[in-house]
Amino acid sequence: MVRHFVRRAGLGSCALLAGLMLATGAMAHEGHDHGAPATPPVTTLAPRAEATSADFELVAVLRDGTLAIHLDRFADNAPVEGATIELDTPEGSQAAKPEEPGTYVVAAPFAAKAGTHDLAFTVTAGGTVDVLATTLTVPAASVPADPRATAPAALALLGGSQLGLGAGVVIGFLAAVLLMSLWRRTAALILAAGLGLASAALPPDAQAADAPKPSARDAAQRLPDGSVIVPKPSQRILGVRTIVTASASHARAVELPGRVVPDANASGLVQTAVGGRLAPPQGGFKPLGTKVAAGDILAFVHPPIGASDLKDLEQQGFELDQQIAIVKRRYERLSAIQNAVTRREVEETELELKGLQTRRATLERVQREPEALRAPVAGVIATSDAVAGQMADPNTVVFRIIDPDRLWVEALGFSPDMGRSGASGRLPDGRSVALTFLGAGMSDRSQAVPLQFSVTVGAEGLRPGQFLTVLAEAGAPRMGITIPRTAVVRGANGQAIVYEHVAAERFVAREVKTEPLDAGRVLVVAGLPPDRRVVTEGAELIDQIR
């Protein structure tokens, strides 16, 4: 009996404790049930105001009694440096001081009071003077509260807590009586349910009463409507730039596969005329990428001579030496008796001696002098197959010389008129090159017409054989808005998206329909009206903000 009584008394005590917890919860939320608490915001923006004009865009951010002024150009969102800003406030005029490129600071003692404050900024930059008017709203939450103002609320809370405490005691007593009269397992279930309800009855305001409030900080975030808030400091870090769209007529562009080839007038091959063994010149073989001038010796070729040929050459050399000796003696004798012989005999003997000596020298060069391989044009060594001691066949290509500043692009099209009015090339890494039409072939290649273009701008880093996409103008012009390719991003469904700069720190995604225009731009034919600011740099980073 004693053990059974003790168990019931313990259960009754727990029920009484649950009633007290319920009373505490009722006291914390002032006797009202507001349902599930709302999810707190991730970030909190500091008080701010913005103003725009045809030339400037200004955002003023209040933090710790200081007003940070971010000044950008309205058209391209670039920071304005070296500007002079005068701030007119209800307490007088103040001059802002530059802090960072495009950022200026000024003390704001007037913002210590909650409410709205009318501000006027006089901006002078680069000969342009503009007045930007705006209103700064300072919420009461950002102003420190007066401790004396919390006394009435504390008294009211204390009165409500007394009533809640009495109700909790009554509920706990009734629950204790019930638990002592029921079976122990049923009582345990009721006890667990009562504790759960008591803990759930605690309002979030009571739980977070003593929690520290996070300080206001500017952070980029995506709103529920899909728009993106990017504070001005974050825009500076992301390098966001914009353009104002305009509609115009543009020619259609066709994408063609292309390949970089060397200019035929600025490239050449170094080949062997006769077979022989390769030998390096003085200083050795030149490595790839070395600049050479026309006529520079790049290698030597020693022609091979067989044993039988070598003996024949030696025999010819002995015979020539013998004839040279005989003619030379005859010439010396005739020169000694010039009065007894005619001048004609002396001259003929002299000419015969010189001829024999020339033949002997030529025979000596054939045995010893190699063939010199010279650069046909000025440029750089693109390819080299030279190895000391290598046996090269006749017409073997040993070096290839090209001029990297003079390159062509060969593309395959379906009309000889493609690209006559204009063309450009786009490389796999996104770079673009300017092309000028040279000509079209008369015979098809792979059921297509070969087209040749010269690279006029952007030849740096190009290599012969490199593939690229040629965008050639063809067809009738079409109306549309041109934007850079970097402004277009792909959405989750694969749709082309651009971000419109609708406010100083707000961006909205717009689905558009585009067509290729050239290597660096696309033509927007639907989804974007003119006279809108579109992000051209940093769109990919804005699209990743969540």
The per-residue pLDDT for range 502-530, each reduced to its tens digit, is: 999 999 999 999 988 877 888 998 999 99
* 481: pLDDT strictly greater than 80: yes
Does 477 or 508 have the greater pLDDT score? 508
- pLDDT score at 162: 46
130 pLDDT tier (thresholds 50, 70, 90): very high
- Pairwise CA distance, residues 147 & 156, whole Å: 15
Please tell me what DSSP assigns to residue 393.
-
The per-residue pLDDT for range 484-506, each reduced to its tens digit, is: 999 999 988 889 999 999 999 99
pTM of the predicted structure, to 2 decimals: 0.59
Residue 413 in tokens = 């099209």
261 pLDDT tier (thresholds 50, 70, 90): very high
- Pairwise CA distance, residues 6 & 510, whole Å: 72
459-465-467-472 Cα dihedral, nearest 10 degrees: 60
Q: Where are the alpha helices (DSSP H) in 337-413?
A: 343-368
- Residue 368 dihedral angles phi and psi, to the nearest 5°: -120, -35
Q: What is the mean pLDDT of residues 3-32?
A: 44
DSSP string across 246-305: -EEEEEEEEEEEEEEEE-TTSEEEEE-SS-EEEE--TT-PPPTT-EE-TT-EEEEEE---
Report the range of poorest mean pLDDT among 11-15, 67-71, 444-448: 11-15
Residue 181 in tokens = 């009269």
Q: What is the mean pLDDT of residues 49-69?
A: 92
291 pLDDT tier (thresholds 50, 70, 90): very high
Q: How many CB atoms lie within 10 A of CB 294?
A: 12
Contact 450, 259 (CB under 8 A): no
- pLDDT score at 269: 92
Q: Which of 54-58, 205-209, 491-495: highest mean pLDDT?
A: 54-58
Q: Which residues contact 388 (CB under 8 A, 6 or more apart)?
A: 278, 279, 280, 285
* 32: pLDDT strictly greater than 70: no
Does 452 or 34 have the greater pLDDT score? 452
Q: Looking up tokens 């039988």, which residue turns up?
A: 308
Contact 20, 168 (CB under 8 A): yes
Sheet containing 371-374: which strands, arranged edge to edge? 371-374, 297-302, 276-279, 391-392
* 177: pLDDT strictly greater than 70: no
- pLDDT score at 320: 83
Residue 532 in tokens = 């809108």
DSSP string across 465-520: T-EEEEEEEEEEEEEEEEEEGGG-EE-TTS-EEEEEEEETTEEEEEE-EEEE-SSS
Q: How many CB atoms lie within 10 A of CB 355?
A: 13
- pLDDT score at 153: 43
- Residue 71 dihedral angles phi and psi, to the nearest 5°: -115, 125
User: Which regions of 419-466 does DSSP assign to beta strands (E)?
Assistant: 423-426, 432-440, 449-457
Of 511, 506, 54, the residue nearest 240 (C-alpha): 506
- pLDDT score at 489: 94
- pLDDT score at 34: 44
What does the longest C-alpha to C-alpha distance in the chain come to?
173
- Rg of the chain over Cα atoms, rounded to whole angstroms, equals 46
Count of CA atoms in the C-beta half-sphere (13 A) of 17: 10
- Pairwise CA distance, residues 52 & 78, whole Å: 14
- pLDDT score at 216: 56
- pLDDT score at 151: 42
